[in-house]
Structure formats: structure tokens, C-alpha cells
Structure 1
Amino acid sequence: MRINELQKINRRAVAKLAGVSLATVSNVINNKPGVGRETRNRVLQALNQPLARKPAVSRQMTAVRRVVTQKELSRVLGVSRELISRVLNDYPDIHPETKIRVKNAIEQLGYRPNLLARSLSRRRTKTIGLLVNDVSLMWREPVFSMIINGAIEVASDSGYAVAVYHYDESRDGRDYGRIISDGRSDGGIVVDNPLLTEPELDRMESLGLPLVFANSVFPGRRIAAVYLDNRRGTEELMSHLISLGHRRIVFVTGAKSALVERLNGYRDALERHGIPFDPQLVFNYDRDPDVDGGVQSLFVDRSTAPTAVCANFDTDALKWIQLLRQWGYRVPDDVSVAGFDDFPFARLVDPALTTVTCEYIDVGRACARLLIAKLEGRRTEESVVVPTQLVIRRSTGPAAMRQYQGGS
């Protein structure tokens, strides 16, 4: 075959028509040995079928290069929208050649079904799915239990049932649309703040999934999310420490979107107060292999040691208080320590913990309200920000005098 003819071949369609693998089709096209005569003949016959050729891009198709609706796709193909829907849902009674033709056009035109619209058009179940990758988080981590309780409260008041769905990323990936469909829910709330790649975000944005993400931030994306004002909360906490004379402040964070926002707040406060950002003071649990050892190395020399530590969570702050005591430092006399979350124990420990109040139950409530509004066809904001509040207690105090040795 000539090169221009080879470029027109839809190898995937040929493989389906001949009942062979893509590799076998390539071997036959390239005249490679090792393919049986009968198999080779089947592939050659399939190559002569009209469906083996990629559909020509007519003026009509070019005009709808960015097809976004089933109606436009139906017009281009000259088939009913019902037929397209049945192909998308993989109904067994559709002729294989018809399936190939429709799927070829879908791929070429870039059509992406809007899963939210599909959920609105099908029969409603009045059920909201709560999606978690690790079910044990529901009782191990207060954050997740509060989000879930808030969502259940609003869903119940609105006449919706709630079901918890566990998904295994190694098996299911993050195909949230399929998980919801399999669970027979109208929509879902993703509770566990997953680390999403750019291609995954692109896909979810184009599909219009009936989803709301809890405590996740997607700047510039049309993806529904409810999150705490982590950036402002951290900036206020840092400004409090800076007002006490602290300049070298250790910041421990992670890679998830909410924690990235806290790091942004840390940097905002430093910039606002004219303090240079020092990357050696920042540690990331998701990237650094030994965070504890890295932080400890900063406190070996008491004359240059940092005077404050900002932890990701209140539980982390308690750990740093214990470690600092083991390293011979007093809190807050030598080193101030602050947390984030304001869990009930934060006011009961010694010293009582300076932290940032986070109303996670309000995050859950807002997630449910936003999702229900979407499912019922009401116009909504894509994201909701839940405010935080600084709470000053005894774990933070004036910076130790070593801060000013050396003229800094």
C-alpha cells in the first residue's frame, strides 16, 4: 500500500473486523513473517472493508470539529441520538459495524458525553455517593468523618439517601463516572482529596461529571469543589508568628492541593513582611524521604536553630512538641509550635495549641448542597470557599533572642 493509503487505515477497526490484535494487523500491513495464512487472509479481507478506512473529513464534519453535543453528532452521522446513546452505553443489540462507525466519528470529532446531563435525563435514584479510596479514614481521621457527617446531614434534610463507595485506585483508577454509575447514585462527593494529574483533570473537566470534590482546590478549572480558605488561614497564622519576632519558621507540608494552598499562604506572609523565602525551612511529607531527620538537623546548632514550627495538622504539631522536648527545647520559650485544624484536643494539651479553626462539617454540608443543586438543574458556583479562623493559645510566644544574633 502507498503511504497515503496506509494513513487512512483505521487499524483498530480492522482488528475488530478480523478478530485479531493490533500487532497482528501491523504485521500484515508491514508484510512481516509469523502470521498464519488464514489469519493473514482475514486481515486482508478486513482491510478492503469500507469501515477499515478512517472517515473522510467532510466540510460538514470540519464545521463541527469541536462537537460537544449528541445532537450535533447525530446530524453529522445521520443517525438518531438514541442510537448514539445506545452505542455509548454498549448495548449488545447494536450491529458491530454500526458501533465502529459511531465510535470512529466520536473519536475524530472529539465528542465527550456530558455525564451530568446523562444523570439528569435518566431515572433519578435520589442517592448521593460518598467516594473514598481508604474506608479506614472514616474513623481514623476526624477530618473525613466530619466532612461525611456534614454531607449526610444536608442530604438527609433534602430527601437524599447516602451510600459510601470504596474504590481501589490500583483496580478502578479514578473513573469516578463509572463508579457512580455502577453504584446507582445520581452523583458523588469525593472525600479523600486525591492527587490528580493534569490529564485526569482535563478529562473530568470535559466530561462534566456529577461530582463535587471535598477539600480540594483546582485553580482555573471548571470542576466543582468545596475547600477551606487554607491560604488565608496560613497567612494569618504566619503573620501572628512574625509579629512575635519569628523570622526562621519551619513549615511542614504535603503535595495535596489543600496543603499546597497552605504553602502559598506561608510564602504570601513572608513576602508581605519582606522576609526572604528559604526552601531549606520547608519540608514535604510526599517528597522528602526523612522529614523528621531533616527538621532535626536544623536544631542541632542552638545558635542558628529556627524559632518556630508550623505543622500541617494539630496531630503533627503535637509530634513536633514531643520531638523538640527530646532535642532539649522548651515550647514556647525556645521554639513556638502551631498547628492547623483546631481539633478538640488542641485546647487540652500542654501547652494549649495555637492553631487555625477549620469547620470541616461545613465543608461536607456545602459539598452536599452544591451537588444537589447541580443534580436538580439549578445554577451554582463551581466552587465554595469555607472561611478559617486563627486561634491563639499558649504554644506560641515571642521569638528567642538567638533570632537576632548575627544581625538578622
Structure 2
Amino acid sequence: MNAKSIRQKEIAEKTGFSINTVSLALKGSPRISEETRAVIMACAEQLNYIPNVVARSLVQKKTNTIGIILTELMNPILTETAQEIEQTLKQSGYNMMLMITNSSPVQEAEALDVLVSRRVDGILMYPVYTANFAKIKQLRDNKFPIILLAGGDYDIPTDAVYVNRRAGAYEAASHFIRAGHKRIGFIGGGNYSDREKQNGYLAALQDNHIPFDPELVGRVQGDGYEDGYEAIGPLYESVKPTAVICTRDYIALGAMRWCRERGIRIPEQLSFIGFDDVAAAGFAETPLTSVKYDVQTVTKKATELLMQRIEERENPAAAPLQKISIHPRLIVRQS
């Protein structure tokens, strides 16, 4: 069946759900259960359904506009990413249309629909977990150029250019192990990025025959100074790690502040490694060792690949899938 002829009515008839339920599920509405959504998305994928706005855009001419989807702008790495992409696109004669999802799957689904309806020539995006992978796959299957800016462990058949967070955490933990640490803590959230980092941390422990103690893992809801400040106390006072990996520099800096207020010497009593290598890391009272996120390399390779995909759109058979993993660098300082 031709992709452009498929309507939500056909999906409703095939699945037995109402058209309204199908519509809400395709939009990622939280009103629809995960089980119902999974059935509807599977049917949509089987029928090669794409929204009308997507179908219309696929036959339009180039607009020289690229859509950018980011999860937030408060994160300095994402802000720098947006700035780098904009400068690179300008040099290639493209404009940028920026959408922020606030880490919401529903807002991400809406952002994808808006950008495609505006007939952008392609999309660069940080995905929100895996909620909209079926929608992203539909775009890819219909030859729409889309590049993920994360994707180390993502099981989705689309192009991705990403910093290997798992490798970065593996190197951080290995650095501590080489320094003689065995009780290595980990502070992070439950998002996909932090899970990748935790997997690297766990792999380093396993490869060095250090038993994993789940009590050494502390959880945070956010990624700011206050999150690290509040998380380190219970962890340090209960299980006494000698070193801690934090999934963001700001978490590490907040934790270090808690230590200084209590006379805990860094790194003599407790060592820290953060992620991203933000400017504040190098200017901290005790300069923070950090896993550097190479924004310039990611944006350069991602925009180059997107331009290639736009040019190859008329001949998709010559465009094999690419997942470009960029190995991060550990910037060693005094923490």
C-alpha cells in the first residue's frame, strides 16, 4: 500500500481502536497507555504510515532550512551545540529552526511534526529517550534526512553522530582504578545518557575484577549544583567511597562544595570526576577532572553527514546507515 494513501482510519480499523485513540497515540499523548501506543505504532510502522504534513513535505523542493531539536537550553553543552550548528549551517547557506522539547516525549513528537510541516530539508536532534523512535524510523524509511546527536546504545536504524558516553565513563573509572581506588561511587539520574555512563562505569569495574556495590550509586533528579550538594552527603556518610564519578560537572562541583564545608579534603579523602568539561570545571577551587564533550567535532561531523544525506535523497540506495562514535577525552586536573 502506498505510504501516502494510508490514513488513521485504516490503522483504527486494523487495530480495533477509535480514530481519536489512534490520533492521540500517534501524537505521543500521555493519555494513551504504553501498551495501546505500542500496538498502534507497530501497526503504523507495518502500514508505512506517515502524517499528512510529512507526506506533503516529502515532495517539496529544498527550503535551505535545517531543523534542530534539543532537549533543553539551560545545559551549556547544548547551548554551545546550537551555536556551533548555526555557524556551520550559515557557511553552507542554510538557516536554522530551533525547537526545544524540555525532555518531553510529547513535545518532541510535536517538534518533529512542526519541522517537517515547515518543509525543513533535514533535522539534527537530541532524542528524548526512546519514546518517538517509531516516528523517527518512519521519517528515515521515507528518505527524510535526520541525524541523531546521541545514540551510543540506541537500537534504531537511523544515522547518529555522538560522543561515546559509555567509553567516557569507562575511562573515568579506569583512571580512578589506576590511582588505586576500589570504592568508586557514581552519582547520576535515570535518563538514557546517564544509564550509558553507568554502563561504562560498571564495565570498568568488571574488567578490573572489582565487585559492584549498588550502595555506591547515588541518584539525582536534576543536573545542577544543588543536586550534587544534596546527593553526596548520604552517599559519603553511609558507604564512604574514596572517589566519585558524577554524570555532570555541575553535580560534581556541588558535591565538592559540600565536602569543603565539612573539611573533607579533595582529592586526599575524596576524589571527583565530572562530565562535559564546562568552563567552571577548570576554575573551581580544586580544578575538576572531567570527561570532555567535543562539541565542535560532533557538530562538524553531524552537519557534514546531514548535507550528504540531503544530496543523496534522490538515490537512497547509495546511502548506507552511519553511526559515528566520537571517543571523549579525559581532562585530568587536581580533583
Corresponding residue SS for 2:96: strand
5 Å-filtered alignment, 1:281-292, equals: 281-286=216-221
Corresponding residue SS for 2:308: helix
> Which residue does 1:110 correspond to in 2?
46
Corresponding residue SS for 1:202: helix
Q: CA deviation at 1:253?
A: 1.6
Deviates more, 1:180-189 or 1:122-131: 180-189
C-alpha separation in 2, matches of 1:361 and 1:158: 16
> Which residue does 1:131 correspond to in 2?
69
- The gaps in structure 2 that reach 5 residues or longer are 16-42, 314-318
Report % sequence identity. 26
Verify the 8 A CA contact 1:149 1:361 in the aligned structure 2: no
C-alpha separation in 1, matches of 2:44 and 2:281: 57
Q: CA deviation at 1:100?
A: 6.1
Q: What TM-score do the two structures reach when normalised by structure 2? A: 0.75
Deviates more, 1:330-339 or 1:120-129: 120-129
Letter in 1 for 2:307: I
Q: What TM-score do the two structures reach when normalised by structure 1? A: 0.63
Q: CA deviation at 1:352?
A: 1.6
Deviates more, 1:316-325 or 1:345-354: 345-354
| Cα offsets for 1:59-101 (capped at 9, x unmatched) | xxxxxxxx5xx2xx7xxxxxxxxxx55x76xxxxxxxxxx968
**Counterpart check, 1:149 vs 2:83:** yes
> Which residue does 1:122 correspond to in 2?
60
Deviates more, 1:224-233 or 1:101-110: 101-110
C-alpha RMSD of matched pairs (Å): 3.3
Aligned counterpart in structure 1 of residue 203 of structure 2, from 268, 283, 293:
268
Q: CA deviation at 1:375?
A: 2.0
> Which residue does 2:32 correspond to in 1?
none
C-alpha separation in 2, matches of 1:232 and 1:167: 27
Change (3 A) 1:325 1:104: same
> Which residue does 2:194 correspond to in 1?
259
C-alpha separation in 2, matches of 1:278 and 1:364: 37
Q: CA deviation at 1:294?
A: 5.2
Q: CA deviation at 1:309?
A: 1.3
Letter in 2 for 1:122: Q
Change (3 A) 1:179 1:360: same
5 Å-filtered alignment, 1:244-323, equals: 244-286=179-221, 295-300=232-237, 305-323=240-258
Change (3 A) 1:186 1:365: same
Q: CA deviation at 1:114?
A: 6.4
> Which residue does 1:181 correspond to in 2?
116
Verify the 8 A CA contact 2:162 2:298 in the aligned structure 1: yes
Q: CA deviation at 1:368?
A: 1.9
Change (3 A) 1:327 1:170: same
Structure of greater Rg: 1
- The gaps in structure 1 that reach 5 residues or longer are 1-66, 74-83, 89-98, 396-408
Change (3 A) 1:380 1:362: farther
Change (3 A) 1:341 1:282: same
Verify the 8 A CA contact 1:313 1:340 in the aligned structure 2: yes
C-alpha separation in 1, matches of 2:303 and 2:44: 37
Corresponding residue SS for 1:376: helix
Change (3 A) 1:114 1:108: closer
5 Å-filtered alignment, 1:333-348, equals: 333-348=268-283
C-alpha separation in 2, matches of 1:356 and 1:109: 38
C-alpha separation in 1, matches of 2:274 and 2:156: 29
Q: CA deviation at 1:242?
A: 0.8
Change (3 A) 1:250 1:105: closer
Aligned counterpart in structure 2 of residue 222 of structure 1, from 157, 165, 190:
157
Q: CA deviation at 1:170?
A: 8.2
